[in-house]
Amino acid sequence: MDKYNKLKKTSYKLRKDIFTSIYKGGGGHVGGSFSIIDALTYLYSEILNIDPKNPEDINRDRLIFSKGHSCQALYWVLCHFGFYSKSYLEDYGKDGARFAGHPEFEKAPGIEISSGSLGHGPSIGAGIAHACVLNNQESKIFVIVGDGETNEGSVWEAILCASQLKLNNFYLVIDNNQFESLDKTSNILGIEPIDEKLKSFGFDVIRCNGHDFEELDLSFKKIINLDSEKPKAIILDTIKAHGISFTTGITKWHYRSPTEKELKIGLEELDKIINA
C-alpha cells in the first residue's frame, strides 16, 4: 500500500470514529470535522515535529486549532497518533465528560489552546511564533482556521502582525469548505480571492485540494522548503462533511447527530473505502 492510500484509509477510519462519537454524544460538527480530517491526518503523520510521549517539549512544533467547533477531528487524530487513549473520548457529550463541544487547554495532551470563540487562534499562533524566533527555536507554528472564521477582524490583525515581524515559522492553514454555519461563505461575507488577498498582505501562499493526499504532500513540503522571510498560508479547498454520500456538501450537517439508520449506512460506506 502506498503512502497516500494508507493516509486516506486512516482518515476514513477516523471519520468512522468521529461519526460514531457524535452519534453517541448526541451532537457535533460533522461538517467541519470531515472537511479538515484529511489535512490533520496528513500533518500529524508527515509534517509536525511533536512527540506524543513528550508533548510539552519546548522545541516542538505547535498546531493551534482555532476552528474549535470541529474539535471531534482534533480529538480523534490526537488519539490515533498516541497522545492519549480512547478512554478519553468514551463519555463525550455526557455530564462530567473530559471533552465537550470545544477543545480546552490542559484537558488532554496535544491540545495547545482553548478554542471555539472564533478568530483567536491566529493571534495566539503569531505570538508563539514570535517567541520562538526570539528564543532561537526552530519550531513551526500551524494555525488552522475556517474560511468563515476569516470574517473576524482579529484574524487580519494577526496576519498583519505576522507579516510585519517576518514570521517565516508561522503557517496559516485555511479550511476553505465554502460554508459557515448554515449558508455559503460567499452569501454571508465572501473572502475570495483569498489567495491574492494573503499575497498582498506579504504572505507566501499555496492552494491545494484538501482531500487529495498527494496534493497535500507536495504543497506543504513545497511551502515549508521555501527560502523566504515571509509567513506562509496554505489554502485547503475542501468540501463540508466530505466522506459520506448523504453528508457531503449538505448544509444541515454543520451541526447534527446522525440517526441510528444514518449511522449504520454511513459506517458501511466508510468501510467500503477503508477495505477497498
- Which pTM value belongs to this model? 0.97
For residue 64, what are the β-bridge partners? Answer: 143
pLDDT average, residue stretch 159-178: 98
- The interaxial angle of helices 71-80 and 30-42, nearest 10 deg, is 40
* CA pair distance 197, 172, nearest whole angstrom: 13
CATH class of 3-274: alpha beta
Task: Write down the pLDDT at residue 137.
Answer: 97
Q: Would you kindly state where each structural domain of the chain is located, as residue ranges?
A: 3-274
* CA pair distance 147, 131, nearest whole angstrom: 27
Summarised one tens digit per residue, pLDDT across range 14-43 is: 999 999 999 999 999 999 999 999 999 999
Summarised one tens digit per residue, pLDDT across range 92-141 is: 989 999 999 999 999 999 999 999 899 999 999 999 999 999 999 999 99
Task: Write down the pLDDT at residue 60.
Answer: 98
Amino acid at 201: F
Residue 181 grid coordinates: 454555519
Q: Residues 235, 67, 24, 181: is their CA dihedral positive or negative?
A: negative
Task: Write down the pLDDT at residue 1.
Answer: 60
